[in-house]
A and B are shown apart, each in its own frame.
Chain A
């Protein structure tokens, strides 16, 4: 099985986990991306949302489970063919929520280009932006190394 182990800096990453946990809790009850099909039958729509929320919650739980006791002793997280798809999706969900909760003042253009002067912003926004970048890096790593595993799963 293809597996990537990544050694992370504990002092840098550990504080970001609070942001992920806080926003991850909200993702149990609310979809990260807005539901766009407004003309669905109400019962079908509820079932649809419920199914999406179950999947979304499972993804986020798996992401949080990466940062377990071993992470806090070794500073290592591992991605493989079994968790890659869910982790990459969970990162997308949390990043959408980070933007919604913390990064709207930065503006969409700055977010897309990454040209953000973090010193202009208060500590919570800086921390959230670091979290946003960290999760993007995780996604890039997985896509770069486990893209084929996700496509074949």
Chain B
């Protein structure tokens, strides 16, 4: 967004933009229902992981309760959460405050 354009926007919109900018983490949470093989399939299908990577993340979810499966800009992170939700996995977005 250019300086000239942003200066014409209301202040709260600019702040909102800033909050949505930056890096976001897509975190998948454990649930006691979905099968391990199903979670691996979903990770391969939705995130595009290969088999070993999908298994690694599935085990993180299973054993640690959560796994960060993608990091990047908010809009694409939301798209991943939507897709994971369509496959009935519980996923949340976390702002990566370190960036």
The chain A residues found within 8 Å of chain B, CB to CB, are 31-37, 40, 48, 52, 55-56, 88-89, 92-93, 95-96, 99, 108-109, 111-112, 136, 139-140, 143-144, 147, 150-151
Contact count A vs B, C-beta below 8 Å: 67
How many residues of B are counted as interface, with CB atoms below 8 angstroms from the partner's CB atoms?
A: 22
Does B8 count as interface, using CB distance less than 8 angstroms?
A: no
Q: Is the interface of A mostly helix, strand, loop or mixed?
A: helix
**Complex: A89 Cα to B87 Cα, angstroms:** 6
Among B31, B33, B82, B86, the one with the most A-chain Cβ atoms within 10 Å of its Cβ is B33
Say yes or no: A88-B88 contact (C-beta < 8 A), given A99-B33, A108-B32, A111-B32.
no
Say yes or no: A88-B41 contact (C-beta < 8 A), given A33-B85, A48-B82.
yes
- Among B32-87, those with CB < 8 Å from A are 32-35, 37-38, 41, 44-45, 78, 81-82, 85-87
Tell me the minimal C-beta distance from B91 to chain A in angstroms: 6
9 contacts between A and B (CB under 8 A): A31-B85, A37-B92, A52-B82, A52-B85, A92-B87, A109-B32, A139-B37, A143-B37, A150-B45
Say yes or no: A140-B88 contact (C-beta < 8 A), given A37-B78, A96-B31.
no
A33 x B88 contact (CB < 8 A): yes
**Complex: A112 Cα to B63 Cα, angstroms:** 12
The chain B residues found within 8 Å of chain A, CB to CB, are 31-35, 37-38, 41, 44-45, 78, 81-82, 85-93
Contact partners of A56 in chain B: CB under 8 A: 86
A96 x B88 contact (CB < 8 A): yes
